[in-house]
């Protein structure tokens, strides 16, 4: 399945929020929508979900060529903070969701149990939702979205309010949904490390316009990352790295920071080794995707 946005425009109160957005995304992929606050990410998800109609342009699904009004059962989304019946348990909330959809029975309840387990909520399944933390509510909301078994998942900041353990669980589940179940996952996030780890494709919005649309691996090949290495000979390391073409090279207390394209890091380390500069440790300071915002 392929989702195609073609010259999508959307405005509110005379202000253009989306300005000619075009892109294509395929089943089996996780797509990250990046951009500053107010760049149009959530509005674009609303249009893709059929909750908003574009003023101009269209969104189409291939191979059948259907448009949004014909997408019944195709899209499942989490936009905004998920809402639940607070005096019911997590499992009871999922059961009501199934009842609204007209499904239930032993098989559906087994799916609910599996989804709660995947998101680390099994031991809280019989606890009232009013006692859930924000992170637990977020994971329960994602469980509800995935239970619909729609081929397209639209998620607005799915790791919002999650601790590191919850984030890892969500990341694993979403990648599994795309790679193993052949779903298309489109998400927004301000956590660039999460996007780098999870997403196959990145679309950057700036003032409602897609300024970049590329495979994640291709972007990371061209973007510069900041690295920090530990060495006892920082003055020579600074000189050698600067001569080798690195930028923003500086040293402080046996730590040397520098910026270069990620694929060139092995080359830089080899240059230092040939000059007999011992490197005890090297780590990446950022994902490199920060450069997209500059």
pLDDT tens, residue by residue, 204-215: 999 999 999 999
pLDDT tens, residue by residue, 65-79: 555 545 567 899 999
3-state secondary structure of 234: helix
Helix (H) or strand (E) holding 177, with range, is helix 164-179
Percentage above 90 pLDDT, the chain = 75
How far from 48 is each of 28, 172, 225, 240, 269, CA to CA, in Å?
Answer: 17, 24, 33, 50, 45
Q: Give me the helix-helix angle, 134-147 and 164-179, nearest 10°.
A: 10
225-293: CATH topology: Alpha-Beta Plaits (3.30.70)
Q: What is the pLDDT of residue 69?
A: 45
Indicate if 225-293 has the same CATH topology as 2-220. Answer: no
Every domain of the chain and the residues it spans: 2-220, 225-293
pLDDT tens, residue by residue, 9-30: 999 999 999 999 999 999 999 9
- Please, what CATH class does the domain formed by 2-220 belong to? alpha beta
152-156: strand order across its sheet: 75-78, 152-156, 184-188, 30-34, 201-206, 209-215
> What pTM was estimated for this model as a whole?
0.87
């Amino acid at each position: 399945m392929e989702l195609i946005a073609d010259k999508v425009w959307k405005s509110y109160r005379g202000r253009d929020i989306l300005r000619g957005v075009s892109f294509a995304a395929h089943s089996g992929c996780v797509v990250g929508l990046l951009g500053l606050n107010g760049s149009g990410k959530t509005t674009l998800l609303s249009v893709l979900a059929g909750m908003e109609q574009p003023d101009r342009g269209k969104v189409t699904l291939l191979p059948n060529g259907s448009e949004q009004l014909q997408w019944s059962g195709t899209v499942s989304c989490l936009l905004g903070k998920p809402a639940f019946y607070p005096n019911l348990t997590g499992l009871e909330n999922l059961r009501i969701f199934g009842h609204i959809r007209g499904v239930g029975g032993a098989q559906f309840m087994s799916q609910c149990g599996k989804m709660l387990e995947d998101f680390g909520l099994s031991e809280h399944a019989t606890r009232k939702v009013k006692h859930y933390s924000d992170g637990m509510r977020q994971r329960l909301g994602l469980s509800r979205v995935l239970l619909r078994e729609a081929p397209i998942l639209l998620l607005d900041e799915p790791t919002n309010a999650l601790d590191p353990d919850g984030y890892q669980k969500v990341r694993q589940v979403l990648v599994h949904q795309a790679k193993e179940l052949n779903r298309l996952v489109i998400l927004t996030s301000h956590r660039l490390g999460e996007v780098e780890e999870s997403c196959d494709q990145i679309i950057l919005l700036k003032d409602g316009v897609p300024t970049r649309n590329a495979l994640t691996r291709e972007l990371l090949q061209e973007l510069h990352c900041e690295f920090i290495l530990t060495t006892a000979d920082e003055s020579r390391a600074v000189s050698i790295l600067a001569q080798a073409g690195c930028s923003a090279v500086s040293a402080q207390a046996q730590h040397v920071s520098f910026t270069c394209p990620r694929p060139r890091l092995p080359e830089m380390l080899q240059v230092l080794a040939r000059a007999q500069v011992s490197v005890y440790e090297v780590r990446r300071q950022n994902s490199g995707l920060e450069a997209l915002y500059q």
